[in-house]
Amino acid sequence: MVGVTDRVDSLDPVATYSSGAWDLYSNIYQGLLTISTGSEEPVPDAAEKCEFTDNAYQVYRCTLREGLKFTSGRDVTPEDVAFSVERFHVMADRQ
């Protein structure tokens, strides 16, 4: 766990890039991949596996682990992950 002393201005990962917010996000949100302590290589977290699917290294595909649930108890689906990724792209295009 990481303590956060910097200002956290939003709990929405799309809404801010502050280091304080991202320190908090790494403690409360699960990602497809994570970086283990002492490593530089991403390893699967919510993903079962991820890999490039083309020779140009432009298409990266992840397989979602089974059994993931939101705090409400609803299953996490590939469509949920796609929505989150697309939301980042839409917000980036507005900037």
Model pLDDT for residues 28-85, shown as the tens digit of each residue:
888 999 888 888 999 999 999 999 999 999 999 999 999 999 999 999 999 999 998 8
The residue extents of the domains of the chain are: 47-94
Distances (CA, A) of 71 to 16, 28, 45, 51, 78: 23, 12, 17, 28, 17
pTM of the model: 0.73
| Residue 81: per-residue pLDDT | 92
Report whether 34 contacts 42 (CB < 8 A).
yes
Interatomic CA distance for residues 47 and 5, integer angstroms: 30
pLDDT value, residue 3: 64
User: Which are the contacts of 44, defined by CB distance < 8 A and separation ≥ 6?
Assistant: 32, 33, 50, 62, 65
pLDDT in tens, 4-32: 677 788 888 888 778 888 888 888 888 99
